[in-house]
Structure 1
Amino acid sequence: MELTKILAPGAVRVIGHISSKKRLFQDLGEMAAAAYGIGAAGAIDGLQERESLGPTGVGHGIALPHARLHNLPAIQGVFVRLEKPLDYDSVDRQPVDLIFALFAPKDSGVDHLKALALVSRTMRDQQICQKLRANSDPAKLHAILTEARGSQAA
């Protein structure tokens, strides 16, 4: 599994300010709808449903929200870099500024976990996070993410 297959170039964005986690999930759902044709309402509901089980803020300014959705042909991702970090109820109680959301088919099973592991490994790399935080061009952010772990299998 490769990030190039999960993250489309049009699914990367820099956002100046988000006022709440709910608003972030709305933006992530709308991005998924625009990039992949995923139903925005279903994506938003899926993210909120998963988040109700426990926060997906993994620490160090990173959040990995994810959802399993019906009628989705493949695992898809969207990435957002926030210019102003958002209070996210992360495990380390720090605000987040790097968000990589995954949307997986309801029946994706182990592939969903492999994708989540791949994204998690990528986002734990301090050098990658430094590069992401130092850039505001979505094309450059996409390149940083997809070149980082492009050839590593999950």
Structure 2
Amino acid sequence: MSYIAGASSGTVAAGGNGLGTANTQLKYPVGVYFDASSNSLIIANTGANNIVRWVLGASSWTLIAGSMNGTKGSNTTLLNYPVGVTMDSMGNIYVADRNNHRIQFFLAGQSTGITIAGVTNSSGDSAKLLYNPYSIILDAQLNLYVADTYNHRVQKFIHC
């Protein structure tokens, strides 16, 4: 939903066409990032196991990462319950892939990800492992902060 300052009601900015995996629908969206350069929302479409771009004013989304039809997985092109999403100034996408216990990095325009934090399908509490990462954010130096939910901590990963 989009709300004008001071308004008590809003308008639908993305989705609003019922639950589903069609490109006019969203399925349990959780994370949202606004990309000013393209006037679009980058959405962690959690129930559909994908990351989508919804240009404001458009009637559908385009796929950035994950499955078109909701298939979950743990390889380099699939996600399993993505919940957090952010973007850097070069257009690269970072995804908190919760049920795979990892952070996936997608170069701008690419749909194959690289695990940059955590170990796919391995949860734990060591400095190299995550346990259901949820929210992510980058600082000005591109250091990554991860809300490592089930470990009750925020992990910092230093940009190299």
TM class, shorter-chain normalised?
0.3 to 0.5
More helix by share: 1
- TM-score, with structure 1 as normaliser: 0.35
More strand by share: 2
1 or 2 for the larger relative contact order (CA 8 Å, sep ≥6)?
Answer: 1
Greater Rg, structure 1 or structure 2? Answer: 2
- TM-score, with structure 2 as normaliser: 0.34
